[in-house]
Amino acid sequence: MNHLEKSSVSRRDFLKVCSAAAAAVGLPASAAEKIAETVSKKKPSVIWLQFQECTGCTESLLRTGHPDAAQLILDLISLDYSETLMAAAGHQAEAALEQAMRDNAGKYVLVIEGAIPTKEDGKYCIIAGKTAVETTTEAAAKAGAIIAIGSCASWGGIPSADPNPTGAVGVSDIVKGKPVVTIPGCPANPYNLLGTVLQFATFGTLPALDDKGRPKFAYGRVIHDDCPRRPHFDAGRFAQRYGDEGSRQGWCLYKIGCKGPQTHANCSLLSFVDTVGAWPVGIGAQCFGCTEKEIGFRVPLFQTVDVQGPTPPAMYTPVNAEAGAMSPLATGVAGLVGGALIGAGLTYGAKLAKVEDEGKEEKKS
Amino acid sequence: MSAEARPVGGRILTPFFYVLSLLVAVMAALVLYRVFAGVGSITNLTDGYSWGIWKPINVVTFTGIGAGAYAVGLLTYILNKGKYHPLVRPAVLAGALGYTLGGTSVIVDLGRWWGSVFLGFPPWYNVNSILLEVALCVITYMAVLWVEVLPAALERLEVDGTPPWNERAKRWLPRVRQMLPFVIALAMLLPTMHQSSLGGLYMMAPTKEHALWFTGWLPFLFLVSCLTMGYGSVVAMDVLLGVTFRGKYRTHMKLLGDLAKVAGWVTAFYVVFRFAALGWEGKLGYAFRFSGPVPFFWLEIALFAVSAVMYLSPRVRANRGRLFLAGFVGTLAGAAYRVDTYLTAYDPGPGWHYFPSVGEVLVTLGLASVGVAVFLVVVKTLPILALGSGADASFDPSRPGK
Amino acid sequence: MTVSRRSVLKTLAATGAAGAAAGLATPAEASHEAAKLAPDAMGLLYDSTLCIGCQTCTVACQRANGMPVDKSLVSANGAPYDFPSDTNGYNKSVIKLYKEGDRYAFMKAQCMQCVDPACTKACMLGALHKVENGIVAWDAIRCTGCRYCQISCAFNVPKFQWLEAIPRIVKCELCRSRVDGGKGSACAEVCPRSAVLTGKSVDLLAIAKKRIAENPHKYYGEAGEDGKVVPKIYGEHDGGGTQTLYLAPAGISFEKLGLPKLDHVPPAEMAMNVQHTVYKGFIAPVVLYVAAAWAIVRNLRKEAAEQKAHHAEQSAHHKEGK
């Protein structure tokens, strides 16, 4: 705990961060303690490579400030190489990378930010004399875990938008044969990264991933399913254009092209910059599907998408609703009256017949 | 000496009358409530089952019972069987009441009953509407029937009326009697039209009516079965009257016996034709798939068949009680056919359910009570029933309507 | 016995004439011409494959038509749910859900605007009538609330206000009289997915066919005479054609969505044939009346003559007897 004590961070604040990280990744509350314990002994080594990117994901990571967690995050992990944050430059930086890969071979977490260009032998991104493809391949070979952070690293992101002149692709297209955790988003949500890294550091396992390598705890559902504006969708209240009555009332943005129904992410649950409501829909802008390869930077902003996934609520009006009352009382009364009348008629006739017969018998005798 | 129609006389306010009045009062209260709270407030009607028991019972069955006027009238006036004459007046009275009750029930059932005044405005008529034809026919026929009852009222007035009413009655009677053949002709035409169309109404619902009941023959089947109902009700009624007014009115057993033979053959014809029509349309198979309303089909057939067999049995015809039963079952058969066509065999689609509410049953009961009560009052005060020696009285053709 | 049979046969003959004529008029002898789709007839196209069940159309319909608050606020499952379980006296259009395991499809229920409606034939005073652009409209003044329209509509479209002292028949009229100042049909105006479109029926039919041509496997189809499954547009011919058209997703039939299976003949056809045959020109009733009047007069005169003769005989007897 020394380094933490030195930076005058209280144990309480430290545990808060661990709890948040554990919760984000879906680990039980007890994991927070374990994380705290592990990390305080030896911080996991993280090598952070950046290629065709805007550094937004790094910035997003740094914008966690309550309580001063930026510092804590950097203290929870040992960020051995980060072109944005490291003090070194030039040959010193190259040396740091090589040393980190050597010292922590097989154990370090490789985080890649940014897309990797592949056209013309990858010459569109050369750092320290090596193409992004080469650096990625080399670093991935000895990594304990590979995480592609942000849409660019996950599937190509903005650089891969049509016509994709550089042939930008995601990490999974370069690294084969090894699991690549993708944490798409533009930017990615920092807690999704944090949770994944800490789980690996503490338990040596990666969270459950979907077929695109995305952690299910964060990307298992679409925005539409967890959206706070969903009641407006269900009630048919839509904003028709920016600034109209509907958008002022905070109504659903589906009609102006919100891609929430098809976008897998947890933005509405975690928000950004540690501020509740700090995500696109929260500030009145339609989700544009930044995590999805088929949608982000592809489907026009105002184009609506199909709603998929979970079935409609069970209480939806069925095609043949039950209608009409059949009360036992009414049944009883009707039966009684009808039965009584018919019974009376039949009895009367039968009696009359008998009387008549007897009368005739008497007459005969 | 021919038996003359005379008022039966006797006390009007009997205990039975009080019971009827109570039922009528309950009905009146319900109807008043319905005027302000809507049709749905006292019924279980829904958009799927928009017609409940009131249409098939209050309208179609009551008028079916009242079709005795038509059924006996056909024999007496068209086929010239004058011997049935003593049965005409009570049948006509029952008809007038039956139709008045039916018409009243329609008004209670109509959601926007005030709109019915436009039934008197031809420019708005939709000549495609079968229901319009039924409505106009029924209204006209109701008037015709009361005109047919008029001679009885005038006769009473002539004898017992205070002046100047007895003079007026005396003057008007011959005029009315002169008009009667043309009124009676109308009374033969109109039921032919609307009794058949009451069945024809359901030709408009091919997707909702069960195959065993839906057919282009609906009008014809309703027409024939209204005859059987008419005969049945006349037979049962005459026996009832003979027992109720024992000593004053004697059931015309011989006449009823002959009428029963006619009724028996008409009923038998109905049963045969019902199956023939089904066979012709290739629907006989449905009768043997015992699901839904199919058991009720067999119940109907059983009722018709039993009544036909009873009518045609000399042993039945010789016994008042059994004859009454034959008429009762015969009427029940026709009623069952109507209720089945309108309700039991009517399926608006999945999810819709209906069973008459207590309110509907009480209104039906109340209306029936009105009919019975008024019938008793009129029979006691006007010359309707042929009293005296009874049996086969011939009538004086120079004074038709007597 | 012989007398009875003869009189019975006579009875039946007298009444059978009209009845037989009625029964013999089958749809084949079409004395009633089924209406055809007019080129400017307005309609609605509902594409269930695009509908997302957002129910904006239901809300817009309520607002555009100035519908009062729905008093029947109980859902089909008995739980309180502020959505109607069907079109009713306070809702002209409703989205319903068909669910089968994991498969589901939405369905918009409203008036089919039939080409040859049964309700306009049933209505006694023509309260329900086709107006310009083929829309089926309801006139309050002429309506008696008899509800025969409900009986005759194969789609159970007209709905009644059961708990009103002054009840109305309520159904979609394609917003022909909007109260909120808008123009055109409100449902189509607000639909975010173009699942609901309104306009000329012929245009909508073309749009539906285009959608099918672009993506035939997306839509529900039925086998034609040659056995080949062809995507079906419900309403193109069903029930004689309706101006409201439906497209269903592949694998979910129209029956499952609540649309009855109909052939190409309007449901009221047979009834109209019978009615028009029997009452053509009102000839049969007049003939029957004249025949009846003649028979009655003749019979009464015959009886009077017989009575006279009988009395004459009797008095002659008496005279002789003296």
What does the alpha-carbon distance between residue A202 and residue B263 come to, in Å, rounded to a whole number? 98
Cross-strand partners of A180: A146
Task: For residue B143, report the phi and psi dihedrals to the nearest 5 degrees.
Answer: -60, -45
What does the alpha-carbon distance between residue C237 and residue C266 come to, in Å, rounded to a whole number? 9
Query: Which of A236, A318, A322 is the closest to C96 by Cβ?
Result: A318
Q: Residue A267 gets which letter from DSSP?
A: H
Residues whose CB is less than 8 angstroms from the CB of residue B194 and which lie 6 or more positions away in sequence, other chains included:
B133, B134, B137, B138, B141
> Chain C: residue nearest A308 by CA?
C52
- A350 to chain C, closest Cα gap in Å: 27
Would you call A333 and B358 a contact, using CB atoms and an 8 Å cutoff? Answer: yes
Would you state the pLDDT for residue A152? 96
Would you call C99 and A317 a contact, using CB atoms and an 8 Å cutoff? Answer: no
Would you call B356 and A334 a contact, using CB atoms and an 8 Å cutoff? Answer: yes
Query: Which of C58, C76, C193 is the closest to A322 by Cβ?
Result: C76
The secondary structure element, H or E, covering residue B32 is: helix B15-37
Q: What is the C-alpha radius of gyration for chain B, rounded to an integer number of angstroms? A: 21
A277: phi > 0 → left, psi -120 to 50 → alpha, else beta; which?
left
Would you state the pLDDT for residue B1? 32
Residues whose CB is less than 8 angstroms from the CB of residue B315 and which lie 6 or more positions away in sequence, other chains included:
B322
Instruction: Say how many CB pairs under 8 Å bridge A and B.
Output: 83
Burial grade of A202 (CB within 10 A; 0-12, 13-18, 19 or more)? buried
Would you call C300 and B181 a contact, using CB atoms and an 8 Å cutoff? Answer: yes
C167 interaction partners in chain B (CB closer than 8 Å):
38-39, 111-112
Would you call C300 and B397 a contact, using CB atoms and an 8 Å cutoff? Answer: yes
Would you call A337 and B361 a contact, using CB atoms and an 8 Å cutoff? Answer: yes
What mean pLDDT comes out for the span A93-115?
92
Q: Do strands A109-113 and A45-50 pair parallel, antiparallel, or not at all (unpaired)?
A: parallel
Would you call C75 and A255 a contact, using CB atoms and an 8 Å cutoff? Answer: no
Three-state DSSP state, A271: coil
B45 interaction partners in chain C (CB closer than 8 Å):
162
In 3D space, the residue among A188, A214, A215, A207 whose CA is nearest the CA of residue A113 turns out to be A188
Would you state the pLDDT for residue A71? 56
Query: Which of B53, B332, B353 is the closest to A326 by Cβ?
Result: B353
What does the alpha-carbon distance between residue B148 and residue B92 come to, in Å, rounded to a whole number? 7
Q: For the packed helices B253-280 and B85-109, what is the interaxial angle rounded to 10 degrees?
A: 50
In 3D space, the residue among B128, B305, B286 whose CA is nearest the CA of residue B213 turns out to be B286
The pLDDT-based confidence of C9 (bands split at 50, 70, 90) is low
ipTM for the predicted complex comes to 0.91
Would you state the pLDDT for residue A202? 75
**Higher model confidence: residue B87 or residue C34?**
B87
A187 prior amide bond cis, ω within 30: yes
pLDDT at A32 over 80: no
**Higher model confidence: residue A26 or residue A117?**
A117
Are the C-beta atoms of B270 and B221 separated by less than 8 Å? yes
> Chain A: residue nearest B321 by CA?
A353
pLDDT digits (tens, 9 = 90+) for C52-78: 888 889 989 988 999 877 766 654 455
User: Mutation test of the interface with chain C: which of B50, B77, B271, choosing the one with the most C Cβ atoms within 10 A?
Assistant: B50
The pLDDT-based confidence of A60 (bands split at 50, 70, 90) is confident
Are the C-beta atoms of B38 and C89 separated by less than 8 Å? no
B117 interaction partners in chain C (CB closer than 8 Å):
none
Three-state DSSP state, A255: helix
Share of chain A above pLDDT 90, in %: 46
Would you state the pLDDT for residue A311? 55
Are the C-beta atoms of B269 and B34 separated by less than 8 Å? no
pLDDT at A209 over 60: yes
User: Mutation test of the interface with chain A: which of B46, B325, B354, choosing the one with the most A Cβ atoms within 10 A?
Assistant: B325
Would you state the pLDDT for residue C5? 55
Task: Tell me the residue length of chain A.
Answer: 365
Architecture in CATH of A2-218: 3-Layer(aba) Sandwich (3.40)
- B88 CB-side CA count, 13 A: 28
B290 has a chain C CB within 8 A of its CB? no
The pLDDT-based confidence of A53 (bands split at 50, 70, 90) is very high
User: Mutation test of the interface with chain C: which of B207, B266, B317, choosing the one with the most C Cβ atoms within 10 A?
Assistant: B207
A99 token code pair: 């040393």
Contacting chains of C (3 CB pairs or more, <8 Å) are A, B
Residues whose CB is less than 8 angstroms from the CB of residue C171 and which lie 6 or more positions away in sequence, other chains included:
C87, C92, C110, C111, C136, C138, C157, C158, C159
Reported for B13-18, long-range contacts at CB under 8 A and 24+ positions apart, including other chains, are: B17/B373, B17/B376
Residues whose CB is less than 8 angstroms from the CB of residue C48 and which lie 6 or more positions away in sequence, other chains included:
C105, C106, C107, C108, C195, C246, C247, C248, C249, C252, C257
Query: Which of B37, B40, B130 is the closest to C271 by Cβ?
Result: B130
Residues whose CB is less than 8 angstroms from the CB of residue C121 and which lie 6 or more positions away in sequence, other chains included:
B126, B128, B129, B204, C152, C268, C271, C272
Contacting chains of B (3 CB pairs or more, <8 Å) are A, C
Would you state the pLDDT for residue B241? 92
Would you state the pLDDT for residue C27? 35
What does the alpha-carbon distance between residue B296 and residue B303 come to, in Å, rounded to a whole number? 10
What does the alpha-carbon distance between residue B299 and residue B335 come to, in Å, rounded to a whole number? 12
Amino acid at A189: N
User: Mutation test of the interface with chain B: which of C275, C307, C308, C314, choosing the one with the most B Cβ atoms within 10 A?
Assistant: C275
Are the C-beta atoms of B91 and B234 separated by less than 8 Å? yes
- A307 to chain B, closest Cα gap in Å: 29
- B163 CB-side CA count, 13 A: 1
In 3D space, the residue among C38, C43, C39 whose CA is nearest the CA of residue C176 turns out to be C43
B78 interaction partners in chain C (CB closer than 8 Å):
10, 14, 292, 295-296, 299
A348 interaction partners in chain B (CB closer than 8 Å):
321, 324
Would you call C192 and A304 a contact, using CB atoms and an 8 Å cutoff? Answer: yes
B243 interaction partners in chain A (CB closer than 8 Å):
352
Q: How many CB atoms lie within 10 A of CB C99?
A: 15
Cross-strand partners of C169: C160
Would you call B111 and C25 a contact, using CB atoms and an 8 Å cutoff? Answer: no
- A311 to chain C, closest Cα gap in Å: 7
A200 token code pair: 């690996």
B386 token code pair: 């042929």
The pLDDT-based confidence of C233 (bands split at 50, 70, 90) is very high
B236 interaction partners in chain A (CB closer than 8 Å):
345
The secondary structure element, H or E, covering residue C288 is: helix C283-321
Would you call A311 and C99 a contact, using CB atoms and an 8 Å cutoff? Answer: yes
- B218 to chain A, closest Cα gap in Å: 26
pLDDT digits (tens, 9 = 90+) for A163-179: 999 999 999 999 999 99
Runs of H (alpha helix) within B245-356 = 253-280, 294-311, 314-317, 320-339
Would you state the pLDDT for residue A6? 55
A307 token code pair: 């709603």
Query: Which of B49, B53, B320 is the closest to A352 by Cβ?
Result: B320
C47 interaction partners in chain A (CB closer than 8 Å):
none
Would you state the pLDDT for residue A26? 67
Any idea where the domains of chain A sit in the sequence? 2-218, 221-321
List of E strands, A93-170:
109-113, 116-117, 126-127, 130-131, 145-149, 168-169
User: Mutation test of the interface with chain B: which of A320, A333, A336, choosing the one with the most B Cβ atoms within 10 A?
Assistant: A333
Taking domain A221-321, whether its CATH number is 4.10.480.10 is answered by yes
For the ranges A27-41, A257-271, A326-340, the lowest mean pLDDT is seen at: A27-41
- For every one of its 402 residues, what pLDDT tens digit does chain B have, with 9 covering 90 and above? 345 788 988 899 999 999 999 999 999 999 999 999 999 999 999 999 999 999 999 999 999 999 999 999 999 999 988 899 999 999 999 999 999 999 999 999 999 999 999 999 999 999 999 999 999 999 999 999 999 999 988 888 888 888 888 888 889 889 988 888 999 999 999 999 999 999 999 999 999 999 999 999 999 999 999 999 999 999 999 999 999 888 888 899 999 999 999 999 999 999 999 999 999 999 999 999 988 899 999 999 999 999 999 999 999 999 999 999 999 999 999 999 999 999 999 999 998 999 999 999 999 999 999 999 999 999 999 988 988 654 444 444 444 554
Q: How many CB atoms lie within 10 A of CB A117?
A: 26
Would you call C104 and A311 a contact, using CB atoms and an 8 Å cutoff? Answer: yes
- B289 to chain C, closest Cα gap in Å: 21
pLDDT digits (tens, 9 = 90+) for A183-205: 999 999 888 887 787 788 778 88
What does the alpha-carbon distance between residue C311 and residue B203 come to, in Å, rounded to a whole number? 54
Three-state DSSP state, A268: helix
Would you call C19 and B223 a contact, using CB atoms and an 8 Å cutoff? Answer: yes
pLDDT at C322 over 70: no
pLDDT digits (tens, 9 = 90+) for C143-158: 999 999 999 999 999 9
- C98 to chain A, closest Cα gap in Å: 6
Quickly list DSSP for C219-235: B-EEE-TTS-EEE--BT
What does the alpha-carbon distance between residue A286 and residue A235 come to, in Å, rounded to a whole number? 18
> Chain C: residue nearest A302 by CA?
C192
Mean pLDDT rounded to a whole number for chain C: 85
pTM: 0.78
What does the alpha-carbon distance between residue A339 and residue B107 come to, in Å, rounded to a whole number? 27
B23 token code pair: 């039922």
